[in-house]
């Protein structure tokens, strides 16, 4: 984790096509950038600074297991490395996540219309309680400077389907006030908050779970216990640059079902990891905890005090 308060510079442009994962599940080679230099991370343990010999050739340091060896990259017509050779072994680039700015998508295991009908006919699991009365509020009424990019009100999401009638974000009052304070605190770094999702009706959680392949269910909540989103105490968010208005470029994209979504994933660039870290630090300071598989998902400390809910946005504002 990076703890400096100073924003790292962007890496040299010719590094961009090289950064990523190479090899096999049992032997992954990570190429990442750190303070303007490429590094190789091998077996999640050996981190080697690389000396640039030429644009596509980098030498290991004069110490460690790979003294005297070089990494030789091969690029495609788009200037993106397709493989790297090390010690006469060719490591192919691994297909991890999406390209920067892209939307990760799945092929739902069943038709969305069928899943929606089933979910709407079902009910959330019974809970013993006791619970506090719901205090759901629209976050932007507390802090208008917060911006929204509610993907589930569009088809620009991992299921390519619309789930919300309107692009709105609701949270329980204590969580909403905490998010507003985080937004204001981040201004010192030149950032504001961009919200993707807050309160989510239970039936939508059921649709997500039932649509997702078994191998990817770590990224969706089980409706049998419900999501903290269903309690109005979880938020999905990113940073946006106060000067340009652009969303922050993170190591992995929002709602990406890949290891790049893990909050401690080691790859990417210094700038990307730093942005991920200042978001996490700011959220933790206000009583939020990051979900272990998603850098963008934070649960408020009061989540246990609220019951699962299934009301639509339209029903909330009647």
Question: How many structural domains comprise the chain?
Answer: 2
Q: What is the CATH number of the domain that holds 202?
A: 3.30.1380.10
Residue 248 CA to residue 194 CA, distance in Å, equals 9
Cβ neighbours of residue 18 closer than 8 Å, sequence gap 6 or more: 31, 38, 56, 73, 81, 84
Tens digits of residue pLDDT in 79-92: 999 999 998 999 99
In a domain, 2, yes or no: no
What's the mean pLDDT in 114-125? 98
Q: Could you give the residue numbers annotated as active site?
A: 294
Strand pairing class (191-197; 147-148): parallel
Q: Which of 303, 268, 240, 190 is nearest to 10 (CA)?
A: 268
- Residue 63 makes CB contacts below 8 A (sequence gap 6+) with none
In a domain? residue 4: no
pLDDT, tens digit (0-9, with 9 covering 90-100), for 123-142 = 999 999 899 999 999 999 99
Within this chain, do residues 26 and 128 fall inside the same structural domain, yes or no?
no
The residue among 61, 92, 123 that closes a domain is 92
Q: Are 82 and 119 part of one and the same domain?
A: no
Instruction: Tell whether pTM > 0.85.
Output: yes
- Tell me: the pLDDT tens digits for 193-246? 999 999 999 999 999 999 999 999 999 999 999 999 999 999 999 999 999 999
Q: Do 34 and 77 fall into the same domain? A: yes
Q: Which residues of 65-86 are buried (b: 16+ CB within 10 A; e: fewer)?
A: ebeeebbebeeeeeeebeebbb
In this prediction, residue 101 has a pLDDT band, given cuts at 50, 70 and 90, of low
Examine the pLDDT at 99 and tell me if it is beyond 90.
no
Q: Residue 188 corresponds to which tokens in the numbers above?
A: 């010192």
pLDDT at 97: 80
- The residue range of the domain holding 37 is 13-92
Are residues 154 and 88 part of one domain?
Answer: no
10-14 long-range contacts (CB < 8 A, ≥24 apart) are: 10/269, 10/271, 11/36, 11/269, 11/270, 11/271, 12/36, 14/55
């Amino acid at each position: 984790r990076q703890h400096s308060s100073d924003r790292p510079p962007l890496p040299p442009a010719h590094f961009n096509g090289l950064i990523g994962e190479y090899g096999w599940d049992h032997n992954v080679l990570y190429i990442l950038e750190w303070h303007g230099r490429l590094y190789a991370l091998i077996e999640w343990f050996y981190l080697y600074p690389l000396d640039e010999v030429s644009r596509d050739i980098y030498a290991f340091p004069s110490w460690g297991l790979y003294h005297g060896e070089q990494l030789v990259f091969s690029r495609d017509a788009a200037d993106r490395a397709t493989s790297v050779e090390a010690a006469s072994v060719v490591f192919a680039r691994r297909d991890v996540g999406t390209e920067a700015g892209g939307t990760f998508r799945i092929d739902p295991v069943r038709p969305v219309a069928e899943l929606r009908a089933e979910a709407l006919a079902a009910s959330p699991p019974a809970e013993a309680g006791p619970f506090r009365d719901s205090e759901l509020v629209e976050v932007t009424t507390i802090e208008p400077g917060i911006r929204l990019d509610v993907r589930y009100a569009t088809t620009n999401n991992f299921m390519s389907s619309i789930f919300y009638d309107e692009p709105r974000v609701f949270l329980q009052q204590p969580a909403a006030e905490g998010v507003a304070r985080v937004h204001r605190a981040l201004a010192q770094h030149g950032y504001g908050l961009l919200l993707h999702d807050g309160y989510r009706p239970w039936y939508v959680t059921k649709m997500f779970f039932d649509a997702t392949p078994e191998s990817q269910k770590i990224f969706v909540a089980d409706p049998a216990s419900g999501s903290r989103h269903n309690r109005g105490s979880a938020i999905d968010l990113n940073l946006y640059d106060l000067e340009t208005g652009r969303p922050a470029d993170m190591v992995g994209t929002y709602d990406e079902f890949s290891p790049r979504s893990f909050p401690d994933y080691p790859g990417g660039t210094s700038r990307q990891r730093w942005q991920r870290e200042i978001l996490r630090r700011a959220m933790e300071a206000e009583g939020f905890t990051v979900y272990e598989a998603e850098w963008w998902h934070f649960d408020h400390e009061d989540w246990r005090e609220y019951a699962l809910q299934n009301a639509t946005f339209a029903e909330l504002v009647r």
